[in-house]
Amino acid sequence: MRPIYYDTETTGVRPGKDRVIELAAFDPVLNKTFCSLVNPQCPIPDESTKICHINDDMVKDAPLFGDLADQFITFCEGETVLIAHNNDSFDQLFLIDEFQRIGRKLPPWRFIDSLKWARKYRNDLPRHNLQFLREVYQIEANQAHRALDDVVVLHQIFSRMIDDLPFNTVIDLLNGPFEITRMPFGKHQGKNLADVPKDYVEWLDSSGALDKKDNAPLREGFVKLGILREKK
């Protein structure tokens, strides 16, 4: 199975509403890269430009996603697995949405979320964002939040995290039991779950944040600690 590391930059954080404005990928086996700005056919909010440094002028003459889809599919052809940091809650959802917009289904690629791997197997760390992991693994700084730069850094980080594990094994391990011991997000990120204030946990619960599929292990952790009751 050949890994393809990929990343998207977008107009916002809401799949289904926001649009992809840059798509990049790196194939370390064939030593090939794919990178293109994407015309989202809508204005890019200032807050997004501040993060990714992509503005309306940069994408006005860029191809539409539909014009890039076949090129990206060709780049990822074969027995491949696509790897992104926060894949399951972000990048893959944006890919699915962009393919739907052009009337096509996402190809039957396999995916790995490197953020989930970091949270599961590096729960000794207080944070798991890409730039923090870059510092932990002493990887040279890059132009953060530009897609191709993030992809190359992700390859270096994830290669070290999984060592020589086959990707099929990585997928199986990610699908296995998942225990969270530290708060993965929010203002108490990095704290041991037992040290997160009860009123904050109850607020998360009442807001519905802990009902999301990705946060099921977090809810389970609070239940085990007696901070929350198990839902019937």
Q: What is the pLDDT of residues 22-44, one digit of tens each?
A: 999 999 999 999 999 999 999 99
| pLDDT value, residue 182 | 83
Of 85, 128, 145, 155, the active-site residue reads: 145
Q: Which two tokens stand for residue 169?
A: 């094994």
Clarify whether 145 is annotated catalytic: yes
Instruction: Set out the domains of the chain in order of their start, with CATH numbers.
Output: 2-174 (3.30.420.10), 179-232 (no CATH)
| pLDDT value, residue 185 | 83
* 81-131 per-position pLDDT tens digit: 999 999 999 999 999 999 999 999 999 999 999 999 998 888 888 889 998
| pLDDT value, residue 180 | 80
Report, as an integer, the average pLDDT of 47-66.
94
φ, ψ for residue 221 (rounded to 5)? Answer: -65, -40
Tell which residue, 16, 54, 53, 20, has the closest CA to residue 38: 20
* Banded pLDDT at 145 (limits 50, 70, 90): low
Report, as an integer, the average pLDDT of 38-60.
94
Cα gap 169→148, rounded to integer Å: 26
Question: Which DSSP string do the residues of 45-86 spell out, in sequence order?
Answer: PHHHHHHH---HHHHTTSPPHHHHHHHHHHHT-SSEEEEETT
